A and B are shown apart, each in its own frame.
Chain A
Amino acid sequence: MYATFYQLVRAESRRPEDNEFDRFRLQVDTALFQHYHEEIRFAALSIDGRGVSTYGDYSIVLREVAVRHRATVFTENSYLFFRHNEMKIGDPVPAGHRATWNDRGRLAGAKLGPKLDTDTHQEDFPSLLLAAGTTTANDDFIEVHIYGPVHRKAVERVVGPKQVRKADKVLLQDLKRKLRQVGAKYEACS
């Protein structure tokens, strides 16, 4: 099971860092998910399966059938949204930035429509929808909020880099076996 940050803290298997991010994070999550913020798993909307690389080289693509009935989407990284809009504790989240899973296309259209023009091609869509920055502070993506546990069988595939070093190739080989056991596969990206 994929546990949330709050569940890990409560289980004493992780401790909050003494930094601005972790302090502000609780306020943002409480404002967005009143009384159930501990149950929310965060993800990003992606067309090609690549995740937000500033969080790591690997990303997990979830099966739509496993999350679509319990997922909503948000216009950007919610933490940054609160920062950009200088929102304070108790401020209501303005309308127009959130949608159900089935309406994710509409939210994406509302956000990215201005960036589309006649020179935009289909192959540009993945990087428009999810643009990893140089740091997490300038990532741009549509955040997905999933309510409830995420089981490993919800994993459709893992996307990650090609391995160069021999030892890492072995680790990857074993990872592929474990993925096959849950019906998932590994996809190497360039």
Chain B
Amino acid sequence: MKALLSGQAGVAVLLDGDHMVSFNLDSPDQLLPVAESDIPHIFADTTDVIQLDHTSCDRVVDELERLWRKDRALHLTLILLDSGAETETRRMAAEYLEEQVVATDARDFVCNRLYVAPLPAHADLSGAQGLAAKLQSNQVSMLLNELKRDQARIQRCRETWDSLRSDLFGGIEAKQIFQQVAVDSGIFRRLAGDECDYRDIEAAPKLYIDDSRFQEFENCAEILTTWATAAMRAAAALTPAAPAAAAVPAAHRRFYTGRTSVTEEGRHLDLILETPMLLETHQLQDLVGGVSSGLVACERSEIGDIYRYELRYRGGLFPSSAHALEHAVELQLLKLAIRGESEDFHGERYSVWDVDTRLFPNCCTEILSALMLVGTEFAREKLSHIRDCWQEEVRGNTQMIESTNLFDPDHKFYYRLRDQIARRAELLAWIDQYLSGNLEAASRYAEAHGLI
């Protein structure tokens, strides 16, 4: 028995010799006779019709359900992103989308399409993220966060695709057909996604040459190589090249990640939280101090590039974090230049906070954004860790202002840092409320302080 199926229509036609029947996904037991001339009507305007050979009824139902789920997941995503859709409809879309994208094939189907071109200006990605976070739709949140993170890459990848000459494919129509296969197979997503590092890009053509869907394209290898190379150049323009680890002196190697350290499933959440966390904890001082002293002390320019690369890469996920991080380094450099020494003035790990408090509001925003985006147990764990670090800092800074107050006759520094510590303590209280499940009180605090 053969079968024709469409998830968009939610209909399958079973062909057994001359006998043809159709059924709807909602009532698979209700078989309706079909004339051959009706088949174009049944599948009119659908674009996802597939044929199964030597199949069974059960398999057709399963496959139809799978196709339907993928199609509806895409529609729900588009509704969720649609700024013109009603809030309640978008809320429902987020809720039901979570059920669909739990399945890997539905999630891949949606992502493969969302990565073909950047979102249009009227798409409301932030609103969608907010709705998903409020509903604790973790899978949807993750999908949207990744989509937001990769928009610039998607734009570049699209531009490289558009720049490929159609004669490379054998004409405009052939290029369109190739594009469809490329979308289905996820090449756009692969080339535009964050996991695509340079080695992946170079390996991409080899990977997809074995994909049977590309077999009909004679010059598939040339196309993919040309495209991947162009995408690699575009990606390189977005992200500074990672210097070779061998070039990093042992003393500075701890600041060097080379973008290879985080590969597990939770890496995205980790990265979201890593940057703001760095801004607030000892790791920040460690990083800022290391980068600053490295830039000052290092005579070899490539080592300076390593630090700049590290700074840009870590900060690239959140522009305001990057700004704050760069600002911190500038301050530290300024301090070093004034004093002419690489030692910190206080010799303490709280040095960045002592000098300026502008990092703090940026960090609050980022932490809260991250929290809004990822209302997960993972986020709670991270937040709990941040709280512990901050508590330690508050204790340290409180002790420190008491001692430095003796050398601060007009108390300017004292008042500034005291306010800073007070605000930090407030935020710690908010985090406590959040972690203890008192979301209402946490929301009230956040709204009152303009944090969300």
Residues on B with C-beta less than 8 A from A17 are 40
| Distance, CA A168 to CA B92, complexed state (A) | 11
- In chain B, positions 20-49 with a C-beta closer than 8 Å to chain A are 26, 32-38, 40-41, 44
Q: Is B167 an interface residue (CB 8 A)?
A: no
**Hey, what's the 0/1 contact readout for A78-103 against B, CB within 8 Å counting as 1?**
00000000000000000000000000
Residues on B with C-beta less than 8 A from A164 are 26
- In chain B, positions 52-91 with a C-beta closer than 8 Å to chain A are 72-73, 75-76, 79, 82, 84-86, 88-89
Q: Is A166 an interface residue (CB 8 A)?
A: yes
Q: Is A118 an interface residue (CB 8 A)?
A: no
Q: Is A11 an interface residue (CB 8 A)?
A: no
Are B79 and A165 in contact, with the CB atoms below 8 A? no
Q: A173 and B32 in contact (CB under 8 A), knowing A21-B40, A136-B37?
A: no
Q: Is B413 an interface residue (CB 8 A)?
A: no
| CB-CB nearest in chain B for A163 | B26
Residues on B with C-beta less than 8 A from A165 are 26, 72
Are B75 and A171 in contact, with the CB atoms below 8 A? yes
Residues on A with C-beta less than 8 A from B93 are 170
Q: A170 and B44 in contact (CB under 8 A), knowing A135-B33, A136-B37?
A: no
Number of residue pairs spanning A and B whose beta carbons lie under 8 angstroms apart = 66
Chain B residues touching A, range: 20 to 34
**Which listed residue, A56, A137, A168, A177, touches B37 by the CB 8 Å rule?**
A137
Residues on A with C-beta less than 8 A from B84 are 177
30 contacting pairs across A/B (C-beta < 8 A):
A17-B40, A19-B36, A19-B40, A21-B37, A22-B40, A55-B41, A55-B44, A56-B41, A134-B33, A135-B34, A136-B35, A137-B38, A164-B26, A165-B26, A166-B96, A166-B99, A167-B72, A167-B75, A167-B76, A167-B96, A169-B92, A170-B79, A170-B89, A170-B93, A171-B72, A171-B75, A173-B86, A174-B85, A177-B86, A177-B89
Q: Is B275 an interface residue (CB 8 A)?
A: no
Q: How many chain A residues touch B (Cβ–Cβ < 8 Å)?
A: 23
Are B89 and A174 in contact, with the CB atoms below 8 A? yes
| CB-CB nearest in chain B for A172 | B89
| Distance, CA A27 to CA B75, complexed state (A) | 39
Are B40 and A170 in contact, with the CB atoms below 8 A? no
Q: Is A117 an interface residue (CB 8 A)?
A: no
Task: Name the prevailing secondary structure of the A interface residues.
Answer: helix
Are B41 and A136 in contact, with the CB atoms below 8 A? yes
Q: Is A20 an interface residue (CB 8 A)?
A: yes
Are B92 and A173 in contact, with the CB atoms below 8 A? yes
Q: Is A54 an interface residue (CB 8 A)?
A: yes
Are B38 and A170 in contact, with the CB atoms below 8 A? no
| Distance, CA A19 to CA B96, complexed state (A) | 40
- In chain A, positions 21-69 with a C-beta closer than 8 Å to chain B are 21-22, 54-56
| CB-CB nearest in chain A for B100 | A167
| Distance, CA A56 to CA B37, complexed state (A) | 14
Are A170 and B32 in contact, with the CB atoms below 8 A? no
Are A177 and B85 in contact, with the CB atoms below 8 A? yes
**Which listed residue, B32, B37, B72, B92, touches A19 by the CB 8 Å rule?**
B37
Residues on A with C-beta less than 8 A from B92 are 166, 169-170, 173
Are B32 and A134 in contact, with the CB atoms below 8 A? yes
Are B38 and A135 in contact, with the CB atoms below 8 A? yes
Q: A135 and B89 in contact (CB under 8 A), knowing A21-B40, A56-B41?
A: no
- 3 A-B pairs with the lowest CB-CB distances in the bound complex, closest first: A167-B72, A135-B35, A21-B37
Are B34 and A170 in contact, with the CB atoms below 8 A? no
Residues on B with C-beta less than 8 A from A55 are 41, 44
The smallest beta-carbon distance between A172 and chain B, in angstroms, is: 10
| CB-CB nearest in chain A for B88 | A173
- In chain B, positions 77-128 with a C-beta closer than 8 Å to chain A are 79, 82, 84-86, 88-89, 92-93, 96, 99-100
The smallest beta-carbon distance between B77 and chain A, in angstroms, is: 11
| Distance, CA A112 to CA B84, complexed state (A) | 47
| Distance, CA A135 to CA B22, complexed state (A) | 11
- In chain B, positions 349-368 with a C-beta closer than 8 Å to chain A are none
Residues on A with C-beta less than 8 A from B79 are 170-171, 174
The smallest beta-carbon distance between A122 and chain B, in angstroms, is: 29
